[in-house]
Amino acid sequence: MKARPKIERPEPDPVPTEPAEDDGGDVVGIRCPNCASRLCPVMWTRKTTKGRIRRARQCVHCRRRFGTTEIATGAQT
């Protein structure tokens, strides 16, 4: 039998170890738990109980996904 050709896969991007520079994200105070970057745009928003909003975000710097629960005012719900 013939040997199968080896498939070359690209190596994944290394996870940065140092914090990213201050890049002025959309919300002050929300930082990526992995690399401390502030540039974490919202992927989706869902309304939950008692006037809270659940938002899923993804870091632009290291691509980590994380969720936030925020207290909303009447204008935001």
pLDDT (0 to 100) of residue 25: 46
For tokens 């990526």, what's the residue? 32
- How many domains does the chain divide into? 1
> Does some domain include residue 10?
no
The pLDDT tens digits of the residues spanning 6-29 come to: 777 777 666 655 555 555 544 457
> Does some domain include residue 13?
no
Residue 71 is encoded by which pair of tokens? 């207290």
Best mean pLDDT range from 26-35, 50-59, 66-75: 50-59
In the predicted structure, residue 52 carries a pLDDT above the cut 80: yes
Are 42 and 18 spatial neighbours (Cβ–Cβ below 8 Å)? no
> Does some domain include residue 55?
yes
Domain with 55, as residue range(s), is: 34-63
Name the residue with higher pLDDT: 76 or 43: 43
> Does some domain include residue 4?
no
Residue 32 is encoded by which pair of tokens? 């990526």
pTM for the full model? Answer: 0.54
> Does some domain include residue 59?
yes
Name residue 56's beta-bridge partners: 44, 67
Taking the C-alpha atoms of residue 30 and residue 32, their distance in angstroms, rounded to an integer, is 7
Q: How high is the mean pLDDT of the chain?
A: 77
> Does some domain include residue 11?
no
Are 4 and 23 spatial neighbours (Cβ–Cβ below 8 Å)? no
> Does some domain include residue 45?
yes
